[in-house]
Amino acid sequence: MGAMRKPANERLFPVKLRKSIPYEFVLEAVSQLPIETRSMFGCLAVYVGDKIVLMLREKQKQTEDNGVWLATTKEHHQSLRREFPHMRSIQLLGKEVTGWQILPADAPDFESAALRACELIRARDPRIGKIPKGRPKPKAR
C-alpha cells in the first residue's frame, strides 16, 4: 500500500500543531472566570477581561524561569512575598526589578503557590493583574 497523500489544503497551508499547555491545572483553577489565553514570547498569557494576570512558561532552555509569572507592580511585591515566600524576579528580564514576578516551577511549594495565586485572581485581588500598555500608533506620514 502506498503512502497516503496529504489533502491539498494541508500541503498548501501546513497545520501548525499547538504546543501542550504548560501547568494546565492553573487554567482549570481559573476556568470559572472569563479568561482568554494568547501566545506571547513562547509562553501562554492569561487574561481576565482586559488585564493580563499570568504567563505560563515551560521551556527546555533557561529552565530557571519556568513556572507561573505573576503580572503585578513593584509596590505589591512585599505583600505578595508574604503569601509566596519563593516568589522572585524573573532572571530573563535582567537585573532590574520589574512588575513581573515568578512562582518558580522548581520551588517545593510550586503547585500550592500557583493554586493560591489562582484563588487571589478569582477573588479579584488588586495586587495581581495589570492592563498592558498599548503599543504606540505609527506616526502618519
Q: Is a pLDDT exceeding 70 seen at residue 116? A: yes
Q: Is a pLDDT exceeding 90 seen at residue 128? A: yes
**What pLDDT band is residue 137 in, cutting at 50, 70 and 90?**
low
Q: Is a pLDDT exceeding 60 seen at residue 15? A: no
Query: In whole angstroms, what is the distance from residue 83 CA to residue 81 CA?
Result: 5
Beta-carbon contacts of 136 under 8 Å, excluding residues fewer than 6 positions away, are: none
Report the pLDDT averaged over residues 59-80.
95
Residue 48 · residue 65 · CB < 8 Å = no
Residue 74 · residue 93 · CB < 8 Å = no
pLDDT, residue 96, reads 85
pTM over 0.85: no
Q: From residue 74, how far is each of 11, 13, 55, 63, 135 by CA, in Å?
A: 49, 44, 17, 24, 22
DSSP 8-state symbol, 75: G
Beta-carbon contacts of 41 under 8 Å, excluding residues fewer than 6 positions away, are: 55
Grid cell locating 42 = 513562547
Query: In whole angstroms, what is the distance from residue 87 CA to residue 102 CA?
Result: 5
